[in-house]
Every structure is written in C-alpha cells, then in structure tokens.
Amino acid sequence: MPLNQGKHIIKEIDGVRCSLVEENIPKDRADFLRELLTHNGFDVKIEQNNGDDSLFTIGVTDKLFNPVVYVYELCLKTPGGKIVTPAYWLQLAPEGINKGEEDFYWGLKTS
C-alpha cells in the first residue's frame, strides 16, 4: 500500500489473514520490506503472484498494522536504529533519521 492511500486491507496470504502492506511489487522491494518489518517485530508473510512470477504480495499477521500510520507516527526503526521516514519507506533515502533530528515541514513554528 503506498503511503498516499490510507485504506486498511485484510488479505489472506499463505492461508493466514494478514494486513496488506504492498502488493504487485518486485522481489527487491519485498525483501527490503520483509527485513524492515521483521526487524520491527512483525510476522511477515510473502506470496508470489499467480499471474506474474516476478511480482509479490507482502503482509503482516498483525491485523491492526497500517503502514501509513506506522510510518507517519514514526513508530518504525531501521536496522541501524534510526527512525523510518516516508522517504526511507519508499526507498528514496538511504537511511532514516536519529531521534531528535526531526525537521519535518509539518513541525510547529515558534514565531
């Protein structure tokens, strides 16, 4: 599920009901998300798409998990211990940020 879509979807993956994280993604993206989510304590399920062997569906067994909420509430950590940012989740930035470095455009203005 991209970060611009907040709909929470439950889907059966390998016979287990899971919260859908993303579907129709390439193997390298699925491996990246599996590593990140496993590091954060989630039980990850991956399934190869029937129509196209090069695309995968990934989900977690925690039915309350919503990637949009977890990323924007800064609840996830990178394997290096930094906070997962939207850019890191989308693989646009090589690493997250350290606690206290938050400099987001939605921060409070003091003036």
- Give the per-residue pLDDT at 102: 57
Query: Per-residue pLDDT tens for 2-23?
Result: 677 778 889 999 899 999 999 9
Q: How confident is the model at residue 43 (pLDDT cuts 50, 70, 90)?
A: very high
Query: Per-residue pLDDT tens for 64-106?
Result: 999 999 998 889 999 988 888 888 898 887 776 666 555 555 5
Check whether domain 10-89 has CATH 3.30.70, yes or no: yes
Q: How far apart are CA 108 and CA 111, in angstroms?
A: 9
| Angle (nearest 5°) at CA 71 between 30 and 58 | 25
pLDDT (average), residues 12-39: 94
DSSP 50: S
Q: Where are the domains of the chain?
A: 10-89
